Amino acid sequence: MADTDAATRITPGSSKYKNKHRKPEQQASLLDFLVKPRPKTQRQLKARKLQRPHLTIRSNPLVTKTKGKTRLDPKKKITKLKKSVRIYRSLKKEKQEVEEQEPEEDIQPEAIQVEEQVQRITLIEESTDKDSPQTKEVHSIHSRRFRSYCDNCTRPRLKELTIKLLKDLDRFHKRAFAKNEIKARAHPRLVFGFREASARLRISKVKLLILATDCEICPGKSGLDETIEALKFQCQQEKVPYCFPLVRRELSYALQKRAQISCVAILDFDGANATFTDLLSEIEDAREEYKRRTSS
């Protein structure tokens, strides 16, 4: 009997006790039909966090908000080389305008200023021809598309290997840029321009320097001619190979750029080792051919 009484005993904590002592008007409520939700898993919680609107992923993590004042029309920084090229272009244009105009009897003050600028151009050209020790005599093989600073012939095989190397390295760089933009910017395969090439030459990062054969004529201090000669001298000191295989338009076409490219510095040729070695041997043969043709 004791066992049956213990089994049917109603305790205050049991559901039977609550239902027994519940008032008749509170027999049913909405809370009785409430279903508690199941606890969410860790994966569901992470997915919910990512769906929140305030957690947006930036397309370009390198673009950060600048501190301080920002100008509506920011001033563009112009290098010394660009300034010298622009000055020489303007002076050359004024010189051509003066030569085209017919001589007049009354000389105006503006014409006097133009004549002074024309004399300044001639003095700059004469001083560069006399003072620069690295200037060479212009041979008959040189022209507007193959200027006097070039010291190797432009062979079809040399052009083909250069275009192949540039296309391969550009493709490798774009692939690395698509995978990880930050690492690709930190370790570029090649850089463009005289300023970037000279900066990498100072820290001995350049494996090959490619220069265009038809760079614009710009004599004078910190001009384009002086910059090219300085790059050649620096490459000879550092024992870095350099060559003149293509014109500016062909360089930009090989690298799929709109603007014309005058200088390309190769920093890493991994993945195109065979093409690089063939190109170096072809550069030596082209330089020997240039010496043979200019000596006669």
Indicate if the alpha-carbon torsion angle 293, 235, 244, 82 is positive or negative.
negative
Report the CATH number at residue 220: 3.30.1330.30
* Helix ranges restricted to H, 8-53: 15-20, 42-50
Predicted pLDDT of residue 229: 92
Predicted pLDDT of residue 255: 92
Residues 126 and 195 in one domain: no
Predicted pLDDT of residue 79: 80
Q: Is residue 236 part of a domain?
A: yes
19, 170, 211 from 154: Cα distances, Å: 102, 22, 12
Residues 122 and 178 in one domain: no
Predicted pLDDT of residue 12: 62
Question: Which residues in the chain show pLDDT less than 50?
Answer: 54-57, 105-107, 114, 128-136
Residues 118 and 247 in one domain: no
Q: Is residue 31 part of a domain?
A: no
Residues 121 and 163 in one domain: no
Q: Give ∠ CA 128-131-82 in degrees, rounded to 5.
A: 40
Predicted pLDDT of residue 130: 46
Residue 123 lies in domain: 80-98+110-131
pTM, 2 dp: 0.63
Residues 165 and 283 in one domain: yes
Domain count across the chain: 2
Residues 203 and 273 in one domain: yes
Q: Is residue 40 part of a domain?
A: no
Q: Is residue 34 part of a domain?
A: no
Residues 288 and 194 in one domain: yes
Predicted pLDDT of residue 131: 46
Residues 85 and 210 in one domain: no
Residues 164 and 227 in one domain: yes
Residues 269 and 174 in one domain: yes
Predicted pLDDT of residue 134: 43
Residues 222 and 176 in one domain: yes
